[in-house]
């Protein structure tokens, strides 16, 4: 049974991990992986009975653009809904899987890094689901409406259930992951790996990086890329603003207090 990592009260530049052999680290990693896989199995078992309902929920954002979905093989509806249930099970088990990863990685981090990860971890899950909700309520309906404009008397949609589910799941997971950007930036700035001034002074480079990230995380179309790039850049500016407020608060706390008269 692995020990639960705790944040050491020692110096912020100290490592809290005890020297171990490579075999001890491999044994710990194996235990974490086994527990994570068991958590995934439980999450998937919970989601499997609801695969038909999950499909209806996933189709809901595109209801204005899709009148029906088709399939090309007898097993396609079952296999696609099964895959959807597996992804839903993964999302259910994600907090437990991340915790198992943390139990393995945390002892190897500096104390200051542990402190900031612990502070930001609660926001990470919230930002992930915020990204999922943004994709569900904004990105998927917008992109579906945009592409439906290109139908005419020669072109009409005949989207298969597998095509749509793959597209929608890719959007949901991509936006959930991409919305972690503010936490990554805050972690880098708070640990001193990069300064706010340097980030703020390289906004053009940041825009290019945001576009590249959006292109990697979204399906292969320009519309989806820009739908992700706009909120990502907004999150970048929010992270800079939050860092400015944190630095100002720390500066006020460091000022000597005037004695009361």
For residue 38, the model assigns a pLDDT of 92
| pTM greater than 0.95 | no
For residue 260, the model assigns a pLDDT of 53
Pair 157, 47 in one domain: yes
Pair 101, 161 in one domain: yes
Q: How far apart are CA 31 and CA 22, in angstroms?
A: 14
For residue 256, the model assigns a pLDDT of 67
3, part of any domain: no
In terms of average pLDDT, the best of 20-24, 134-138, 181-185, 209-213 is: 134-138
Pair 92, 164 in one domain: yes
Q: What residue numbers bound the domain in which 215 lies?
A: 180-253
184, part of any domain: yes
For residue 134, the model assigns a pLDDT of 92
Domain count, the chain: 2
9, part of any domain: no
Helix, strand, coil shares of the chain, percent, nearest 5, are 75, 0, 25
pLDDT, average across residues 182-195:
82
For residue 119, the model assigns a pLDDT of 72
Checking if the pLDDT of 235 tops 70, the result is: yes
Looking at 172, 200, 233, the residue that finishes a domain is 172
- Quickly state the pLDDT bin for 3 (edges 50, 70, 90): very low
CB atoms within 10 A of CB 192: 8
7, part of any domain: no
Looking at 172, 206, 234, the residue that finishes a domain is 172
pLDDT in tens, 28-84: 888 888 998 999 899 988 998 888 898 999 999 888 778 788 888 999 999 998 889
pLDDT, average across residues 194-202:
86
Phi-psi map region of 7: left, alpha, beta (phi>0 left; psi -120 to 50 alpha): beta
Beta carbons within 8 Å of 209's beta carbon, 6+ residues apart: none
pLDDT, average across residues 139-165:
82
Pair 72, 162 in one domain: yes
Among 139, 137, 124, residue whose Cα is nearest residue 230 = 139
10, part of any domain: no
């Amino acid at each position: 049974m692995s020990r639960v990592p705790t944040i050491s009260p020692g110096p912020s530049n100290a490592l809290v991990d005890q020297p171990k052999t490579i075999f001890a680290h491999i044994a710990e990693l194996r235990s974490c992986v086994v527990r994570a896989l068991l958590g995934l199995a439980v999450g998937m078992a919970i989601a499997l009975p609801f695969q038909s309902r999950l499909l209806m929920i996933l189709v809901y954002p595109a209801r204005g653009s899709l009148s029906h979905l088709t399939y090309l093989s007898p097993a396609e509806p079952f296999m696609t809904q099964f895959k959807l249930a597996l992804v839903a099970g993964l999302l259910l088990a994600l907090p437990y899987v991340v915790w198992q990863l943390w139990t393995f990685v945390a002892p190897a981090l500096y104390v200051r890094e542990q402190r900031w990860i612990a502070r930001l971890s609660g926001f990470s899950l919230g930002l992930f689901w915020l990204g999922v909700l943004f994709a569900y309520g904004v990105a998927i309906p917008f992109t579906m409406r945009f592409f439906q404009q290109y139908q005419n008397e020669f072109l009409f949609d005949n989207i298969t259930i597998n095509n749509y589910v793959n597209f929608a799941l890719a959007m949901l997971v991509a936006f959930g992951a991409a919305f972690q950007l503010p936490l990554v930036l805050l972690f880098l700035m708070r640990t001193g790996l990069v300064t706010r001034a340097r980030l703020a002074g390289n906004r053009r480079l940041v825009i290019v990086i945001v576009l590249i990230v959006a292109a990697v995380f979204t399906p292969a179309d320009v519309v989806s890329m820009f739908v992700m790039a706009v909120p990502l850049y907004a999150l970048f500016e929010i992270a800079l603003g939050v860092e400015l407020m944190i630095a100002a608060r720390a500066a006020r706390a460091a000022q000597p207090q005037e004695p009361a008269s």
